[in-house]
Chains A and B, each alone.
Chain A
């Protein structure tokens, strides 16, 4: 079975631009969570979506938004990019919103110049 997939793998953007990252969960998983990991730190929670509804939001500015589609795939959007948004963005899927274990994709490496 395919694991969590993310696209693109790498991305370079300029300050002020907007970016969209994509995630496809494991087949049968209905919950998707997004995390940001900067160098030397653990992943930081951004959003959780379940059945197309936002179920949790981390301490990130409104420039960050996300959505989930009927096929449970998800997109993370970041507007007005800042240098500090450079990070590895990880998507994780789980069976449901009350399922403990999350399974991560390989991530998208975003560089903002």
Chain B
């Protein structure tokens, strides 16, 4: 039961252009969403997050959009840089039923390659 899905295994973008990474979820109880970036031989690095009470959150070159009715979120990177090349994971969390936010449910990841 894949509750968080990233349907694009890979994305290739030219330097300076926009990168758009997509994520879909099925569990309507999720109320907090995060994006992580992972380089080989390193742990995931937190990038940006969004609460379900918002539909947009910006941090520098990174913007996350949330469409609750469609159960869809996306990460926009503008402008893309070669150093952005990594695996990107979206993750979701829920406090439903009094459980903690300690459990993150991850998608399968999207490999982003930014060409110079």
Taking beta carbons and an 8 Å cutoff, which residues of A are in contact with B?
A: 4, 31, 33, 35, 40-45, 48, 50, 55-56, 58, 90, 92, 94, 97-107
Given contacts A43-B106, A44-B106, contact A100 B44 (CB under 8 A): no
19 other contacts beyond A48-B102, A92-B43, A97-B102, with CB at 8 A cut-off? Answer: A4-B43, A31-B100, A33-B102, A35-B104, A40-B108, A41-B108, A42-B106, A45-B104, A45-B105, A55-B100, A56-B99, A56-B100, A92-B104, A97-B100, A98-B100, A100-B101, A104-B45, A105-B43, A106-B43
Q: Is the CB of A107 within 8 A of B43?
A: yes
Option from B4, B44, B100, B105 in Cβ contact (under 8 Å) with A104: B44
Given contacts A41-B108, A101-B34, contact A56 B45 (CB under 8 A): no
B41, CB-defined interface residue at 8 Å: yes
Q: Is the CB of A94 within 8 A of B41?
A: no
B32, CB-defined interface residue at 8 Å: yes
Find chain A residues with CB under 8 A from B104 CB: 33, 35, 43, 45, 92, 102
